[in-house]
Structure 1
Amino acid sequence: MAVVSACIVALSGCALPRSGPKDDEILAGSKAEGGPVNVVLVDNRVAVASYLDDNLSFPSSFTGAGLASTDTINPGDVISVTVWENVDPALLVGPGQKQAFIQEIQVDQAGNIFMPYAGVLKAAGNTPEQLRRLITRKLDPQTPDPQVEVRRVAGDGSSISVIGGVGAQGVYPLVPSTTRLSAMLATAGGVTIDPDVAQVAVRRGGTTGRIFLQDLYDDPRLDVALRANDKIIVEEDRRTFTALGATSTQARVPFPQGRMSVVEAVAEVGGLNGNTSDPTGIFVFRREVQSIANKVTGRNDLGENEPFVYVIDLTRPDGVFLAKEFQVRDKDTIYITEAPFVAWTKILTATSQTLSFTADVVRVGDLLTDN
């Protein structure tokens, strides 16, 4: 018994292998104890005060914009012109012919086109009807009562680029059937990424708005009207959190959905390890934003990116509810401490191995003495 006791005492003072710091070691590092970290026990007030509204959305300039006119001609568009003449010989066609087809006239970057006998005309900014009247006025002095038809053909001028996780990436014309975001995504083959983690960004000039695809399903206001030269980018959510300690999985984990709580994050890595985890010691490590850091602590002198450790005790009557309300953010680290008996189990295991080795040595010594 004296040998066993000595071994236990000796091993208890050794640095036994473990998955991370103990809860008392973390708490000892708090600023209240002279350490460098803000350690905060999560209650209802803290759960509310620490919430950061990081919802994705489109700016009001997107959601408030009306449908664009798909008739307006833009630089890069292609138009076709048909002219009927009532005289013989006609101006644009040969003898006996009454109809002239002028196909695929591309609007240059200055917004102009060249029309035979009408010269250089400003096309960009006009509708096909306005351009028809302009061509008619130019031709009328040269051929009596010309009948003109102008059609806008899909071209590069009014187009949308769709890239990323869609069925068919490409450049698509902005036509009456694709003037809204959902219609353009459908035209591009639909979203091929898991809807729970898919994000849709719309880039317009120097402004970019981003939403979760699921929000597009839920909120019709986010089905924004598109504009020529918009870029639509579909990609997976890039946010991650890290799980460490007495969990079923220790890993860097992508967010499985748009918004997550501690309960959902722990469940995502397989839950608590029933053999080793301590439900009183769930710690969330993060660099806190200045406004929330001061709100949580009731101070006004904390700076940006203050190191915070939030402590959740699941054994409290409201512990699970607090874990469901406490928000997990990008780059958080969730650490679950080991239960106290785990350390003793390790000590006893190491002790038994030491005693077994000692007994083997004694037996070998006895054999050598006998011989």
Structure 2
Amino acid sequence: MNLPTEILRWRIVAAAGVLLLAGCSTGLQFRSEDSKGSTEPPPPTEMITEQLIAAEKQTNARQGDQDLSRLVVSHPPPYAIGRGDVLSIVVWDHPELAGGGMTAATAAADANGTNASAAANVPQPGFVVDHQGRIQFPFAGLLPVEGLTEEAARALLTQKLARYIANPNITLRVQSYRSKRVYIDGEVKQPGLQAINDIPMTLVEALNRAGGLLPTADQSRIALERGDERYRINLRDLVQRGINPGNIMLAPGDVVRVHSRDESKVFVSGEVVTPKALTMHNGRLTLNEALGETGGISPLSGDARQIYVVRKTPERTRVFQLDARLAGSLAMAESFELRPKDVVYVAASPLANWNRHLSLLFPGALTSAVGVTNRP
């Protein structure tokens, strides 16, 4: 018997025994240090059970239960005239009263930044509402119209002209809407300004005017900023709650941003067939779907007992663990909702850890030992 070969074989067996004991330990090993170098205790591991899933659903419901009552308007009011709007006013049988204002073509060109001569053929005159909310009209003088509807402004002007004209017949309408705007940004085809006109500016109307949502848009993450307040709108959740998105009324100065689906990713790594980053489906992705889209747990190296979900919250880091060998584990994985930026990690089996550690310590030694053992 070759003594050096026999010694090498026993060394490999001893090292393998030590590594096998080390590889039998389960669970992720977390270690964190603060700025002073002291080690903090690792976050506790929470087993995924039916009770935990029910508690998570209640937490998600509370977080998503934002009061949108101020945004929902079933019967929107008519358009109110504002500063900068251009009014078209016609007094029938009195064409001489039409020349006192700025032409509608000039006002439209000024609003759109186009050449005024291109629209100079528009015959109807226009009257611009000044910075104090007034227009100047012959015989009526300075007329405050800000905040009035077309009907109310027409009635006011009729009352003023009735002193000089018997039974005045007046047509008044908004020629150019320039006082109220909303801003649409993000994953829409045509982001930018949208003017509020006589058609109620609902959320759906604004998105349609912007060309609709892009395929990369996340319908569950639409942000609406109004002054110092910020609303999170989930179109899918609104429909499930019986709220018509067409009743969400926008106000002048609102900023609507449609987030991208790429901002809501889940990262799957470890012992799966194809580790990768997954895009959530309009804010929804379950643990079962995440494992399925990556090919499932690796049959050669994955440990079904050690499926982890690492979640960073503003308060702390949470670690969830699922034992896929238990009865009903697949149903729990389907009910466990992931959140953006979650990390799903499948740990390696003890045997896989043993093989890897042995290969690192003795590269090629196991193959040589097996070859020596099999020699006659």
Q: Does 2:270 match 1:245?
A: yes
The unaligned stretches of length 5 or more in structure 1 are 16-20, 95-100, 290-303, 360-371
Name the counterpart of 2:250.
226
Superposition deviation, residue 277 in structure 1: 0.8
Name the counterpart of 2:68.
59
Name the counterpart of 1:321.
331
Q: Does 2:337 match 1:337?
A: no
> Which one of 149, 162, 166 corresponds to residue 140 of structure 1?
162
Superposition deviation, residue 38 in structure 1: 1.3
Determine the C-alpha separation between the residues in 2 that align with 1:206 and 1:25: 45
Name the counterpart of 2:28.
26
Name the counterpart of 1:264.
289
**Taking structure 1 as reference, are residues 188 and 159 closer, same or farther at Cα in structure 2, changes over 3 Å only?**
same
Superposition deviation, residue 337 in structure 1: 0.6
Q: Decide whether the 8 Å contact of 1:215 with 1:222 is kept in 2.
A: no
Superposition deviation, residue 329 in structure 1: 2.3
> Which one of 193, 196, 199 corresponds to residue 221 of structure 2?
199
**Taking structure 1 as reference, are residues 197 and 61 closer, same or farther at Cα in structure 2, changes over 3 Å only?**
closer
Name the counterpart of 1:166.
188
Name the counterpart of 1:41.
47
Superposition deviation, residue 93 in structure 1: 7.0
Q: Decide whether the 8 Å contact of 2:217 with 2:260 is kept in 1.
A: no
Query: What do the CA deviations read for 1:208-254 (whole angstroms, capped 9, x no partner)?
Result: 32223434565443331333333322221433333332123445544
Determine the C-alpha separation between the residues in 1 that align with 2:197 and 2:30: 65
**Taking structure 1 as reference, are residues 67 and 201 closer, same or farther at Cα in structure 2, changes over 3 Å only?**
farther
> Mean alpha-carbon deviation: is it higher for 252-261 or for 317-326?
252-261
Write the letter of the residue equivalent to 2:306: G
Query: What do the CA deviations read for 1:52-97 (whole angstroms, capped 9, x no partner)?
Result: 314376622112x34332332122322111112469xx66679xxx
Determine the C-alpha separation between the residues in 2 that align with 1:148 and 1:337: 79
Determine the C-alpha separation between the residues in 2 that align with 1:355 and 1:44: 44
Superposition deviation, residue 113 in structure 1: 1.6
**Taking structure 1 as reference, are residues 104 and 189 closer, same or farther at Cα in structure 2, changes over 3 Å only?**
same
Determine the C-alpha separation between the residues in 1 that align with 2:168 and 2:183: 39
Superposition deviation, residue 205 in structure 1: 3.2
Q: Which has the higher contact order (CA 8 A, sep 6+)?
A: 1
> Which one of 127, 132, 142 corresponds to residue 105 of structure 1?
127
Determine the C-alpha separation between the residues in 2 that align with 1:253 and 1:27: 25
Write the letter of the residue equivalent to 1:132: R
Determine the C-alpha separation between the residues in 2 that align with 1:274 and 1:114: 82
Name the counterpart of 1:353.
364
Determine the C-alpha separation between the residues in 1 that align with 2:296 and 2:219: 21
Query: What do the CA deviations read for 1:119-173 (whole angstroms, capped 9, x no partner)?
Result: 2111111111221222223233334443221111241223332222222223333
RMSD across aligned C-alpha pairs, in angstroms?
3.6
Q: Share of identical aligned residues, percent?
A: 24
Query: What do the CA deviations read for 1:179-224 (whole angstroms, capped 9, x no partner)?
Result: 4322332222111134665632333333332223434565443331
TM-score (structure 2 length as normaliser): 0.73
Residues 141-156 of structure 1 correspond to what in structure 2 (within 5 A)? 141-156=163-178
**Taking structure 1 as reference, are residues 254 and 150 closer, same or farther at Cα in structure 2, changes over 3 Å only?**
same
Superposition deviation, residue 27 in structure 1: 7.1
The unaligned stretches of length 5 or more in structure 2 are 1-5, 32-39, 101-122, 371-376
**Taking structure 1 as reference, are residues 358 and 121 closer, same or farther at Cα in structure 2, changes over 3 Å only?**
same
Q: Decide whether the 8 Å contact of 1:195 with 1:214 is kept in 2.
A: no
Q: Does 2:142 match 1:120?
A: yes
**Taking structure 1 as reference, are residues 181 and 143 closer, same or farther at Cα in structure 2, changes over 3 Å only?**
same
Q: Decide whether the 8 Å contact of 1:114 with 1:120 is kept in 2.
A: yes
Q: Decide whether the 8 Å contact of 2:87 with 2:128 is kept in 1.
A: yes
Q: Decide whether the 8 Å contact of 2:271 with 2:301 is kept in 1.
A: yes
Determine the C-alpha separation between the residues in 1 that align with 2:30 and 2:220: 41
Name the counterpart of 2:14.
9
**Taking structure 1 as reference, are residues 164 and 92 closer, same or farther at Cα in structure 2, changes over 3 Å only?**
closer
Q: Decide whether the 8 Å contact of 2:99 with 2:125 is kept in 1.
A: no
Q: Decide whether the 8 Å contact of 2:307 with 2:345 is kept in 1.
A: yes
Q: Decide whether the 8 Å contact of 1:22 with 1:337 is kept in 2.
A: no
Write the letter of the residue equivalent to 2:354: W
TM-score (structure 1 length as normaliser): 0.74
> Mean alpha-carbon deviation: is it higher for 213-222 or for 139-148?
213-222
Classify the secondary structure of the residue corresponding to 1:60.
Answer: coil
Number of residues paired by the alignment?
Answer: 327
> Mean alpha-carbon deviation: is it higher for 267-276 or for 53-62?
53-62
Superposition deviation, residue 7 in structure 1: 2.1
Q: Decide whether the 8 Å contact of 2:188 with 2:207 is kept in 1.
A: yes
Residues 177-188 of structure 1 correspond to what in structure 2 (within 5 A)? 177-188=199-210
Name the counterpart of 2:37.
none
Determine the C-alpha separation between the residues in 1 that align with 2:162 and 2:366: 112
